[in-house]
């Protein structure tokens, strides 16, 4: 069973609040989201989210995940094809009921990640769900540190590029490449 409630134009400022719940034999989740399209009367939009989840879909272990996050987003040009996102999230994950006790190291059974991230997106696709022409490029950098509350310290870089070109009326050439790098620091293992 699932239920979602959305309230638009909260406080008369086009803000949106969404509450949600999902319940079933394998997964239970509650969520809250608050969106402000004009954060503090600027060109930045703001999005706050929080979720809690109990997941029993994996037959080897159960997981409990709690996450809170805040994101600022801004278009960098008039056409909206260039976007900058700044994000902070705090995630707590716990694994329970391991059928194979040595499968996951003891230090990884309960993890906490405190992440600062920045993402640049350049999107010229004609349709985001069914692109026939254009490009999609992203550059994302994440930073996790024990000084910020993480269990481990590492940096992550993710690059993605996709290209779409129509060959005929019904055929589109599409290709994509993704590269990702993770570099631990401060004696952490990743």
Average pLDDT estimate for 51-71: 95
Average pLDDT estimate for 169-179: 95
Q: Give the model's pLDDT for residue 105.
A: 83
Closest C-alpha to 109, from 123, 89, 92, 125: 92
- Asked if the model's pLDDT at residue 108 lies above 90, the reply is no
Query: Predicted confidence band at 190 (pLDDT cuts at 50, 70, 90)?
Result: confident
Q: Give the model's pLDDT for residue 138.
A: 97
**How many C-beta atoms lie closer than 10 Å to residue 35's C-beta?**
20
- Asked if the model's pLDDT at residue 103 lies above 90, the reply is no
- Asked if the model's pLDDT at residue 40 lies above 90, the reply is no
Long-range CB contact pairs, 78-83, < 8 A, 24+: 81/122, 81/123, 81/124, 82/120, 82/121, 82/122, 83/120, 83/121, 83/123
- Asked if the model's pLDDT at residue 93 lies above 90, the reply is yes
Query: Predicted confidence band at 120 (pLDDT cuts at 50, 70, 90)?
Result: very high
User: What is the value of pTM for the model shown?
Assistant: 0.84
The two structure tokens encoding residue 111 = 């993890």
Q: Which residues pair with 135 in a beta bridge?
A: 163
Q: Is the C-alpha dihedral spanning 104, 109, 114, 115 positive or negative?
A: positive
**How many C-beta atoms lie closer than 10 Å to residue 154's C-beta?**
19
Let me know the angle formed at the C-alpha of 185 by 181 and 188, rounded to the nearest 5 degrees: 100
- Asked if the model's pLDDT at residue 12 lies above 90, the reply is no
SS3 content of the chain, % helix, strand, coil (to 5): 5, 65, 35
């Amino acid at each position: 069973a699932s239920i979602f409630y959305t309230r638009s134009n909260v406080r008369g400022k086009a803000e949106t609040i969404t509450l949600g719940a999902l319940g079933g034999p394998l997964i239970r989740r509650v969520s809250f989201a608050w969106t402000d399209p004009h954060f503090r009367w600027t060109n930045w939009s703001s999005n706050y989210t929080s979720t809690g989840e109990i997941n029993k879909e994996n037959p080897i272990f159960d997981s409990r995940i709690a996450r809170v996050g805040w994101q600022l987003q801004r278009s960098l040009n008039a056409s909206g094809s260039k976007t900058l996102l700044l994000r902070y999230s705090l995630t707590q994950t716990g694994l329970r009921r391991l059928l194979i006790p040595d499968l996951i190291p003891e230090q990884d059974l309960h993890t906490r990640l405190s992440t600062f991230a920045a993402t640049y997106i350049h999107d010229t696709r004609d349709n985001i769900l069914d692109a026939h022409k254009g490009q999609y490029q992203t550059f994302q950098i994440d930073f996790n540190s024990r000084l910020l509350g993480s269990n481990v310290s590492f940096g992550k870089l993710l690059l993605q590029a996709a290209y779409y070109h129509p060959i005929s009326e019904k055929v589109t050439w599409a290709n994509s490449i993704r590269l990702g790098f993770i570099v631990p620091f401060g004696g952490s293992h990743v």
